[in-house]
């Protein structure tokens, strides 16, 4: 999951009456990505349970977690399951370390 981290920035401006005005604004500073193993852990699941529920082999899940080439279809199955379990949408681009093949 990608989370936007913000930092607060204080901006001093002068309004029309020459009164200093303090404005607080939030600026995005970076994106934080989630790793697949952390998402599985957050869902309170094991790799074996993910494999069983997605009908993928435990070896496929292990390879996916460890950054080995994996089909886009397999990745989508896992992320769909994790999205359902965690109650939020998880996109492929939100997960760090995936190595997706285009077959």
Whole-number Å distance between alpha carbons of 77 and 80 = 5
Q: What per-residue confidence (pLDDT) applies to 28? A: 43
Tokens of 77: 């199955």
pTM beyond cutoff 0.85: no
Q: Domains in the chain and their CATH numbers?
A: 34-101 (1.10.260.40)
pLDDT at site 35: 92
Q: What is the DSSP letter of 94?
A: G
| Mean pLDDT per 10-residue segment, the chain (103 residues) | 48 56 48 83 96 98 96 96 94 92 76
Q: Residue 17: its pLDDT value, please?
A: 60
């Amino acid at each position: 999951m990608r989370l936007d981290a913000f930092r607060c920035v204080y901006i001093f401006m002068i309004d029309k009456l020459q009164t200093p005005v303090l404005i607080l604004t939030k600026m995005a500073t970076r994106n934080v990505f989630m790793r697949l193993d952390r998402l599985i852990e957050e869902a309170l699941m094991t790799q074996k349970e993910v494999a069983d529920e997605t009908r993928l082999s435990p070896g496929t899940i292990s390879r996916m977690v460890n950054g080995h080439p994996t089909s886009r279809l397999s990745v989508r199955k896992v992320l769909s399951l994790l999205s359902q379990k965690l109650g939020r949408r998880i996109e492929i681009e939100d997960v760090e370390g995936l190595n997706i093949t285009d077959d």
